[in-house]
Every structure is written in C-alpha cells, then in structure tokens.
C-alpha cells in the first residue's frame, strides 16, 4: 500500500497514513486532516501545482508553502519538517519535479460552496493567494467545465449518472428541482434551481443544495460519458468533509457514489466528521470478512427494487473486493501536538477507545446515553 508521512509541520508532530483503495481520516477540528490531504496532492501533483502558480504569476520558491497552503502557512515548514511518500522525501523546493504536470489527484475541498457564492466558480488567478491551492484548482475546474456552453441542464443529467443515482439524489437533495446554467444580460453564467414556476439563484438554495451541487459537478468530471470507466490520467480522488450541510440521507447517497468511483478504478480519500461515513466503511469491512454476497451492499444502502439492484451489481461486487483504511489524527495530551493512529478495524468491542469509538465520532452520543441511564437508575 501507499504511505504518506508528515512530521513537524504545523500542528502535525508525526502522522503516518497507510492508504487503501478507500481511506478515511477522522479527528477533531484543527488536527491537520486537511494538511495531510494537501500534502498528498503535492506529493503526486507538485508539478501541476507549481505550473498553475507560475501561470498566475505567483511562483516564489521562498514562499511556496504560503502559496500552496494559504498565506500565513510558510512558517509551519521548519528545519525539522519532513514529508515523504512511499519512503521518498517530498520537499517544497523540489515540488516542480513531482509528477508530469498532468493532474493525477482530483481534490474536492471543504467549503466548496463558498467558491461559487456569486453563482459560478472563479478562475484560479482571480482567487486570493490566501486560498489554499487545492481550492483554487477545484474552482478552475468548475470554471472550465462549462466555459463556452450555452444554457444547459446540470441535474438531472442522463448518460453520466446511473438511473438509481439520479433517483436517490433527487429524493435526498433536489426534490424534483432542476439545476441549470443560465446566462444573464452581461453574458455571465449563473447556477439556477428551478422548482415549478420558481427560478432560484444560488444563494437562495438550501445549505445542503449549495454544498452538494459543486461536489456533484466535480464528480461529473470523474465520470466519462464514453465507454471508458475513468479519466485516464486521474488515479486519486480526495473529498474533504462530504457531509457539510447534508442530511444523513444525502450523505448515504454520496457514499454510494464513492463505491462507483472505486469500481471505476479510482482510489478515494475522505476526511469526515460523520459517523455515517464510517458506518458505511465498517459495513463494507464486515461484509468482506463474512464473504457476504453483493446483494448485502444493496441492502445496506436500501436498494430494494430488482432492476436497481442489478444496475448496481458490478459496483457492489467491486466494493467488497476493495481495501479500506481509517486513521484518526488526535492531539497528544502531553506534547499538545498531533499524532496519527490506524483504527481501520473499527471494532466496537476493542479495548482501544480510539478504535471502538471510531476516533471519537461515537463517544459523545454514548456519554449522552450513559447520562440518561444513570438518571433513570437513580430515579428508580
């Protein structure tokens, strides 16, 4: 398996992440999950990043860390800082030599809705250097995706999403609405949601619709309309906090889309604060250990109609053959710095609280339950 190691960078003391076909990072806010994912992008696509900065006139070797992670992050790289990928060092001065300039890692950042708050994404050079480079690249991708197009429907979109995905997304997010690109009198493109006679601009949508739409548009880039399953150059897909603004029903639909990405041959890396994401990963691990049939995956996602189950047969079968890894990033109580721990077993019966509590995602609800039980016992 691939392995990313980051040491002595910002709050990260020592983080070693073994990457499977599906990898999930968990941990409280400020534990460096985003930094780890950005280093993975830099390790594989350093040349693409440097080229994008150069085209925007923002290449400065002395301030490269600032440009990549956002202005103010430069001092985080010190004399003791070290990053390696598969045992080979990754250093800011030599990032231009990493990769061939063609994108291998497609990165969907957190707070993606903020990138299109005015109705459509901005090109790379229009975004401030204070914005991490992964967000600027994602915004450029969305900008390029529909440059030159006339008014067009973005959802529901045939020949890209399977029928079962379209139906589930509609039920969870859009509820019969249609997402379009419209062009105003100044020839500026804007996203529009149509519900019956209502035509709603982007900022009037629900928080979940605003968060899910750029995520969905990013995934469109990974789902070729041709017979080929995947984009030939892209091998990795990173999604930060896919659950932002979403109801559990929509998070579940997203995880089904993750299985589709795995079937296509992408390696997927997520960061999350959602127990639903880890529940799906735990289910896949247990079903694989039990040598369960592919139909069990459909059962887990509530796919009961025979035609839809058949539509997912290859995806579900492939999911049971994929490797999953889960890591928690947490502050060491003594050093106040972050270290990583592999909790991939997700065993609820483990004596290790990080494993049984899924990196802290289930511990809070357990304490609530314990408080109620204690009160009931005292009352009786």
pLDDT class of 274 with cuts at 50, 70, 90: very high
pLDDT class of 44 with cuts at 50, 70, 90: very high
DSSP letters spanning 120-161: SPPPGGGS-TTS-HHHHHHHHHHHHHTTT--SEEEES-TTTS
Are the beta carbons of 119 and 191 closer than 8 angstroms? yes
Cα distances (angstroms) measured from residue 103 to each of 47, 70, 98, 264, 350? 9, 20, 11, 17, 40
Domains in the chain (CATH in brackets) are: 2-145+228-346 (3.40.50)
Which range, of 204-218, 348-362, 365-379, averages the lowest pLDDT? 365-379
Helix axes 33-55, 133-145, angle to 10 degrees: 60
- At residue 50, does pLDDT exceed 70? yes
Q: 182 — alpha (psi -120 to 50), left (phi > 0) or beta?
A: beta
pLDDT at 366: 66
Q: State pLDDT tens for residues 283-326.
A: 999 999 999 999 999 999 999 999 999 999 999 999 999 999 99
> pLDDT above 70 covers what percent of the chain?
95
pLDDT at 371: 74
Q: Given CA atoms 304, 307, 308, 313 in this order, what sign does their dihedral have? A: positive
pLDDT at 357: 92
Q: What is the mean pLDDT of residues 273-277?
A: 96
Choice between 182 and 213, residue whose per-residue pLDDT is larger: 213
Strand 22-26, strand 324-331: pairing: parallel
Peptide bond into 156 cis (omega under 30): yes
Closest by CA position to 214, among listed 178, 177, 242, 250: 242
Residue 58 gets which letter from DSSP?
-
Q: What are phi and psi for residue 179, nearest 5 degrees?
A: -100, 125
Closest by CA position to 250, among listed 281, 221, 277: 277
Q: What is the mean pLDDT of residues 136-151?
A: 79
- At residue 197, does pLDDT exceed 80? yes
Distance CA 201, CA 46 (A): 37
Distance CA 309, CA 312 (A): 5
Q: CA end-to-end span of the chain, whole Å?
A: 54
The pair of structure tokens assigned to 353 is 């609280």
Closest by CA position to 90, among listed 20, 2, 4, 32: 4
pLDDT at 380: 73
pLDDT at 365: 65
pLDDT class of 151 with cuts at 50, 70, 90: low
Give me the count of residues in the chain. 380
Distance CA 117, CA 131 (A): 15
Specify the 3-state DSSP secondary structure of 106: strand
Are the beta carbons of 41 and 105 closer than 8 angstroms? yes
Q: What is the mean pLDDT of residues 8-24?
A: 97
Are the beta carbons of 360 and 28 closer than 8 angstroms? yes
The pair of structure tokens assigned to 254 is 């997203």
Choice between 183 and 95, residue whose per-residue pLDDT is larger: 95
Residue 53's contacts (CB-CB under 8 Å, 6 or more residues apart) are: 59, 64, 67, 133
Residue found by looking up tokens 């996203």 in the block: 191
pLDDT at 167: 95
The pair of structure tokens assigned to 199 is 């035509």
pLDDT at 149: 57
Are the beta carbons of 107 and 131 closer than 8 angstroms? no
Residue 298's contacts (CB-CB under 8 Å, 6 or more residues apart) are: 304, 308, 309, 312, 316
């Amino acid at each position: 398996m691939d392995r990313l190691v980051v040491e002595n960078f910002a709050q990260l003391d020592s983080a070693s992440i073994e990457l499977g076909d599906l990898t999930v990072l968990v941990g409280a806010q400020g534990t460096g999950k985003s930094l780890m994912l950005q280093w993975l992008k830099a390790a594989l696509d350093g040349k693409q990043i440097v080229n994008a900065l150069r085209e925007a006139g923002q290449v400065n070797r002395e301030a490269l860390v600032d440009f990549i992670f956002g202005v103010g992050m430069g001092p985080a790289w010190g004399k003791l800082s070290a990053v390696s990928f598969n045992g080979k060092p990754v250093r800011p001065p030599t990032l231009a030599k990493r990769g061939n300039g063609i994108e291998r890692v497609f990165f969907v950042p957190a707070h993606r809705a903020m990138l299109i708050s005015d109705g459509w994404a901005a090109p790379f050079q229009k975004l401030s250097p204070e914005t991490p480079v992964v967000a600027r690249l994602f915004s450029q991708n969305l900008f390029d995706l529909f440059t030159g197009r006339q008014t067009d429907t973005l959802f529901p979109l045939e020949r890209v999403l399977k029928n079962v995905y379209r139906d589930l997304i509609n039920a969870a997010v859009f509820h019969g609405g249609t997402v379009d690109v419209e062009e105003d009198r100044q020839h500026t493109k804007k996203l529009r949601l149509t519900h019956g006679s209502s035509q709603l601009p982007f900022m009037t949508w629900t928080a979940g619709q605003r968060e899910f739409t750029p995520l969905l548009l990013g995934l469109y880039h990974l789902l070729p309309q041709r017979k080929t399953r995947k984009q030939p150059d892209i091998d990795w897909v990173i999604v930060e906090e896919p659950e932002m603004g979403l109801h559990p029903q929509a998070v579940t639909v997203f995880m089904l889309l993750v299985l589709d990405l795995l079937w296509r041959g992408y390696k997927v890396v997520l960061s999350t604060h959602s127990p639903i994401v880890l529940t799906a990963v735990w289910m896949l691990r247990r079903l694989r250990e039990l040598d369960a049939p592919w139909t069990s995956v459909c059962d887990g996602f509530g796919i009961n109609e025979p035609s839809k189950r058949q539509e997912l047969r290859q995806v579900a079968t492939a999911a049971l053959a994929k490797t999953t890894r889960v890591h928690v990033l947490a502050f060491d109580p003594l050093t106040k710095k972050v270290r990583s721990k592999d909790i991939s077993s997700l065993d609820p019966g483990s004596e290790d609280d990080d494993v049984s509590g899924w990196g802290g995602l289930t511990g809070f609800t357990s304490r609530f339950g314990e408080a109620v039980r204690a009160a009931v016992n005292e009352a009786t």
